[in-house]
């Protein structure tokens, strides 16, 4: 049952069989390989979870979060993938996942030695970071988690996809109306972000970190803007060169340069 094709997964949903899988899961979790739980994860990876009712989605969330606790790398990976899909459904689904302490589970899985588990759990968190409860979670202990995510975003050698997801999460956090994350990354983290941009070989990672910097300066003003030229003689010229490209990164560099210039001009 684990090797479900799209047609079989679709048929299971149409035939109203997912509730049976969810009910079966509790009994299966004590066995070495919880087959019904894995089948549920594969269904929700394969098929658009929007086809399910809200009540059924919430039931699936509980079952998949339990699957995250099973000490099996592939099951944890598939559970995180399914939860990433489910978490994209609606605000109510995201808030339900957060109320079930999903962030704490995902953060434990981020420490996995298995790169796919680490990547999938990072992507699952990224899907939730704009929720108020998630922002509050990131801001605990003076925003210490933000700096840990910056380390993930700069660790391309470990896994580029994880770095890309982490950089994307930081960009989304900083672009939020709540300026807490941007302020949490201002100050000493700004040179690290700049170095991340300069050292990255990935345009995607560079783009996300440039967006992050733009919002930090926009939220924090002169205290953030003055750090950029003071920390590096090559960063702004590098952004000027990139800004001439007809690309998403080039447009982001233009935005950054304009925001920095505007803040510095206001000081003068």
User: Which pLDDT does position 1 carry in this prediction?
Assistant: 43
Question: Measured between alpha carbons, how far is 59 from 84 in angstroms, rounded to an integer?
Answer: 15
User: Which pLDDT does position 43 carry in this prediction?
Assistant: 81
User: Which pLDDT does position 2 carry in this prediction?
Assistant: 45
Q: 21-58, pLDDT tens digit by residue? A: 555 554 555 554 466 777 778 888 887 777 777 777 88
User: Which pLDDT does position 219 carry in this prediction?
Assistant: 93
Q: Which residues of the chain have pLDDT under 50?
A: 1-4, 15, 26, 32-33
User: Which pLDDT does position 174 carry in this prediction?
Assistant: 93
For residue 113, give the 3-state DSSP assignment.
coil
Counting every residue, how long is the chain?
Answer: 268
User: Which pLDDT does position 22 carry in this prediction?
Assistant: 54
- Let me know if 204 is exposed, middle or buried by CB neighbors in 10 A (0-12, 13-18, 19+): middle
Number of Cβ within a 10 Å radius of residue 225: 25
User: Which pLDDT does position 161 carry in this prediction?
Assistant: 94
User: Which pLDDT does position 10 carry in this prediction?
Assistant: 52
On whether the CB atoms of residues 128 and 98 are closer than 8 A, the answer is yes
User: Which pLDDT does position 91 carry in this prediction?
Assistant: 92
User: Which pLDDT does position 99 carry in this prediction?
Assistant: 95
In this prediction the pTM is 0.84
On whether the CB atoms of residues 211 and 252 are closer than 8 A, the answer is yes
User: Which pLDDT does position 15 carry in this prediction?
Assistant: 47
User: Which pLDDT does position 73 carry in this prediction?
Assistant: 94
| Torsion angle in degrees (nearest 10) through CA of 229, 230, 235, 236 | 10
Q: Residue 200: left (phi > 0), alpha (psi -120 to 50), or beta?
A: beta
**DSSP one-letter code for 203:** H
- Residues ≥6 apart with Cβ < 8 Å to 175: 211, 215
Burial 148-175 (b: 16+ CB within 10 A, else e): ebbebbbebeebbbbbbbbbbbbbbbbb
Question: Measured between alpha carbons, how far is 197 from 228 in angstroms, rounded to an integer?
Answer: 12
User: Which pLDDT does position 27 carry in this prediction?
Assistant: 52
User: Which pLDDT does position 8 carry in this prediction?
Assistant: 55
For residue 179, give the 3-state DSSP assignment.
coil
């Amino acid at each position: 049952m684990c090797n479900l094709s799209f047609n079989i997964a679709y048929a299971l949903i149409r035939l109203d069989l997912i509730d049976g899988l969810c009910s079966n899961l509790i009994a299966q979790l004590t066995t070495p390989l919880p087959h019904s739980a894995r089948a549920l994860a594969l269904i929700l990876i394969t098929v658009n979870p929007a086809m399910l009712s809200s009540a059924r989605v919430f039931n699936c969330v509980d079952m998949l979060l339990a699957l995250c606790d099973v000490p099996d790398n592939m099951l944890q990976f598939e559970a995180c993938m399914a939860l990433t899909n489910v978490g994209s459904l609606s605000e109510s689904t995201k808030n339900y996942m957060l109320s079930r302490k999903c962030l704490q589970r995902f953060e434990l899985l981020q420490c996995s030695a298995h790169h796919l588990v680490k990547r999938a759990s990072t992507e699952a968190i990224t899907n939730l970071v704009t929720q108020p409860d998630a922002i509050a979670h990131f801001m605990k202990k003076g925003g210490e988690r933000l700096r840990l995510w910056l380390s993930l975003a700069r660790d391309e050698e470990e896994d580029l996809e994880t770095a890309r997801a982490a950089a994307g999460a930081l960009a989304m956090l900083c672009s939020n109306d709540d300026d807490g994350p941007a302020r949490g990354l201002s100050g000493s983290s700004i040179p690290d972000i700049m170095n991340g941009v300069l050292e990255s070989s990935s345009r995607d990672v560079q783009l996300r970190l440039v967006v992050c910097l733009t919002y930090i300066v926009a939220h924090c003003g002169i205290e953030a803007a003055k750090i950029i030229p003071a920390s590096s003689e090559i960063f702004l010229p590098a952004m000027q060169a990139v800004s001439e490209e007809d690309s998403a990164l080039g447009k982001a560099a233009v935005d950054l340069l304009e925001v920095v210039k505007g803040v510095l001009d206001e000081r003068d």
